[in-house]
Structure 1
């Protein structure tokens, strides 16, 4: 049996960004990613002392942190989540890393099936670059929050854009959406790339969010991103978790 590599399970907290911002949620963060996103320039140090750059979830991306991840079955995860659940049906958010690396994993599908069939609202936060099939009814009831990476991630175009997967998710699920994190310096190029991408896709909601891993950086970028949203008919979304807690983990 192939187990899930779980970086952390935390909550109850709020969903900090995207379509369900402000919604009480429990997060299941899986380890492993198919991207490095060095262009996001979050500096960190590995357990062995090597300095690197990546995204703000580097501890779930870099295999150097693998020893901190816990190997779990779906039932192990469900049991741990149950200890955190309040007395109402809270949303479940599966994030990473890149959760779709586990799509063909039986334990991952068992986890999704359990929550969907027990009437939880399930969101998967994904870069949507991997090939997946949505052959089961419960899979089509998941909300996919698709953080497609733009050129500022420094990942190659062919690797980061998967039109087939994006089209499949948009057409076969209800309400799945695109979201992009942008700073003031990148806004013109971001606008061009998002237009080129959405021209190849079915109609889909686009959310723009300010880049930064501190409240100060969010403030510095928010006005430019709001203006870009207004200019293009996109939706602006703040990043509440960073505004309240900076980049503190587990909240």
Structure 2
């Protein structure tokens, strides 16, 4: 019998969830490899960009039992599955095994996703929240690749999705508002977050987007881990 595995970039924690509705909660992260988008400002290109990173060393096929054991070290309240794009893995046997192990351990599971892939029923049943980050024009990919309304609708229908738009300007916030309205997203589920991987850039963008976000009726989040540790990996 084959022992379930997943392709992983890194597992780290306990730390804190730095973004969105769970900001500040004690958490561990499982960062899986691979992504179906190519965002120009991506802060984890080592999970997918073979042109600038050696993916043979960055990504490792790892036993699920070992992933779960490492993520549960230090008794975190929350385990976040991130990437890359973690929902690319949901048809792998190891995905179901990982969700089962985390569920048995009694932790909440969050999935960070770009909103282009609908979750399966099995995934939805095991996940406490989907942190959905649809990509705006400044991410660089063509709209038909980065925005998938059917997947957004499926995520919204779970009743467990928070939608998080990465913004640097008022124009970005306005663009996010247009998408949120077109997709029928309740304002209470929409968060706007400044783009940036260092505290100075983050603060500059937060200042630019805060009033527009509030004006549109959105929630606002910073990136707590960046304020604490900058762009240090595995924090």
TM-score, normalising length from structure 1? 0.84
How large is the Cα RMSD of the aligned pairs?
1.9
Quickly say closer, same or farther: Cα 1:230–1:160, change in 2 above 3 A: same
The answer (yes or no) to whether the contact 2:165–2:176 under 8 Å persists in 1 is no
Partner residue of 1:66?
A: 55
Partner residue of 1:178?
A: 163
Partner residue of 1:33?
A: 35
CA displacement at 1:137 relative to structure 2? 6.5
Partner residue of 2:128?
A: 142
Partner residue of 2:84?
A: 97
- Structure 2 counterparts to residues 1-251 of structure 1, below 5 A: 3-38=5-40, 40=41, 55-63=42-50, 64-67=53-56, 68-82=58-72, 85-86=73-74, 88-135=75-122, 138-139=125-126, 141-174=127-160, 176-184=161-169, 187-203=170-186, 205-251=189-235
CA displacement at 1:136 relative to structure 2? 6.2
- 1:91-150: CA deviations, max 9, x gaps? 1011101101101111012111221343211010010102432256633x4310001101
Query: Helix, strand or coil for the counterpart of 1:145?
Result: strand
Ranges of 4+ aligned residues in structure 1 off by more than 6 Å: none
Whole-angstrom distance in 2 between the partners of 1:57 and 1:16 = 15
The answer for unaligned runs of 5 or more in structure 1 is 41-54
Whole-angstrom distance in 2 between the partners of 1:193 and 1:79 = 38
Quickly say closer, same or farther: Cα 1:71–1:180, change in 2 above 3 A: same
Whole-angstrom distance in 2 between the partners of 1:137 and 1:190 = 28
Partner residue of 1:52?
A: none
TM-score, normalising length from structure 2? 0.89
Quickly say closer, same or farther: Cα 1:78–1:135, change in 2 above 3 A: closer
The answer for unaligned runs of 5 or more in structure 2 is none
